Amino acid sequence: MEKELKEISQDIRKEIALCKDIDDFWLLHKKYLSKEGRLSILFQSLKKLSTDKRASLGSEANRIKKELTDLIKTKEIKVDQSSNLDDYFDPTLPGKKPAIGHIHPLTKSINRAKMIFEGMGFSTIEGPELEDEWHNFDALNFPKDHPAREMQDTLFIKQKNREKLLEKERLVMRTHTSPVQIRYMLTHKPPFRIIVPGRVFRNEATDASHEVNFYQIEGLMIDKDISVANFKAIMENFWQSFYGKKVKIRLRPSFFPFTEPSFEVDMSCTSCKGRGCSVCSKTGWLEVMGAGMVHPNVLKNSGVDPKKWQGFAFGMGWDRIVMMKYSIDDVRLFYGGDLRFLKQF
């Protein structure tokens, strides 16, 4: 019995070292100190001993039991404090609100524009931001070496022996979404009714209404008998749905190599209510889009017979359209990453 008492004492000490959490200690208690535990069984067998032996062995067994119980308790408290405090979960505390991002105002409003145009039978198409000169200029009837190519402040891509490359090999950051008209017409059969939202790039100085990269939404509608009247009707429908009210616009004759006739659309500046401010360069009007009837050369370059098909195209300066919706007084706010601005949408 003395031997067994010694063994129990050694076993407990070994097993304590392996205890990692409260559950392990609970099992240890059960194994040695509970009613059916090894120590309790040993105490029961003491009864069978002679009075003398029971007295000496009993007091030794009691001493070991106390020592082991204290040891387990001390270790148990240590493990409890070190391992479990961090994991402690108080269900009564109010929860932490997770930080959730939200859609950028330009993307959000592009999604709205897509819905409106899709309701009028337009499909949404995308094209590459890194474009070649042929699609960005030549196919759109920009004369070769003509200053019109420079009118869009092009960002040309550095390439080895660039001057020896063909137009289809020379790369630029697309200056407008119009090249996607060509890509679409070359690969589809008329009639066409598409919009092309996307980012465009220009090498120009920034101010309240000019950015180096900004968004455009291109539109193209080609059919047998489309006229400027159709353009006006589609745009009026769009403005009405997008702004939820009538907006004041004016059409000015203009020039684009890819449309004839061409015009530009100005909108009464909502930032200053037409009185004149930095957004509209003190004119009370902000140019929001270019448009016109698609030039026959552009249709020919895209494999479409201009004798059979005709229609209009437009390119909206999307940032400015959104600025007019929310009376935003600087286009650069869209790209500054200032959460105080972005959280308002």
Residues at the contact surface with ligand FA5, assessed by CB under 6 A: 152, 176, 178, 202, 204, 210-211, 214, 216, 218, 256, 259, 287-292, 313-315, 317, 319-320, 331
Start-to-end CA distance of the chain, whole Å, equals: 81
Burial label for 43, CB within 10 Å (0-12, 13-18, 19+), is middle
Closest separation between CB of residue 125 and ligand FA5, Å? 14
- Measured from the CB of residue 97, what is the shortest distance to ligand FA5 in angstroms? 36
Q: Tell me the residue nearest to ligand FA5 as measured from the CB.
A: 317
- Of 76 and 317, nearer to ligand FA5 (C-beta) is 317
- Residue linked to tokens 């950051």: 173
Crossing angle, helix 228-243 and helix 318-326, to 10 degrees? 40
What's the min distance (Å) between Cβ of 167 and ligand FA5? 18
Shorter beta-carbon distance to ligand FA5: residue 32 or 262: 262
Question: Toward ligand FA5, which CB reaches closer, 214 or 309?
Answer: 214
Is 19 or 249 the residue whose CB approaches ligand FA5 more closely?
A: 249
- Please, what is the minimum distance in Å from the beta carbon of residue 224 to ligand FA5? 20
Any idea how long the chain is? 345
DSSP 234-301: HHHHHHHHHHSS---EEEEEEEETTEEEEEEEEEE-TTTTTS--TTTTTSSEEEEEEEEEEPHHHHHH
Query: What's 165's DSSP letter?
Result: S
Separation of alpha carbons 324 and 239, rounded Å: 11
Report in angstroms how near the CB of residue 277 gets to ligand FA5 at its nearest.
Answer: 16
Q: What is the DSSP letter of 172?
A: E
Token couple for 3: 């031997």
Rounded Cα gap, residues 304 and 188, in angstroms:
10
Cβ distance to ligand FA5 smaller for residue 42 or 234: 234
CB of 339 to ligand FA5, least distance (A): 22
Min dist CB 296 to ligand FA5, Å, is 14
Kindly tell me which of 210 and 232 has the beta carbon lying closer to ligand FA5.
210
Which residues sit opposite 132 in a β-bridge? 171
Residue among 102 and 250 whose Cβ is closer to ligand FA5: 250
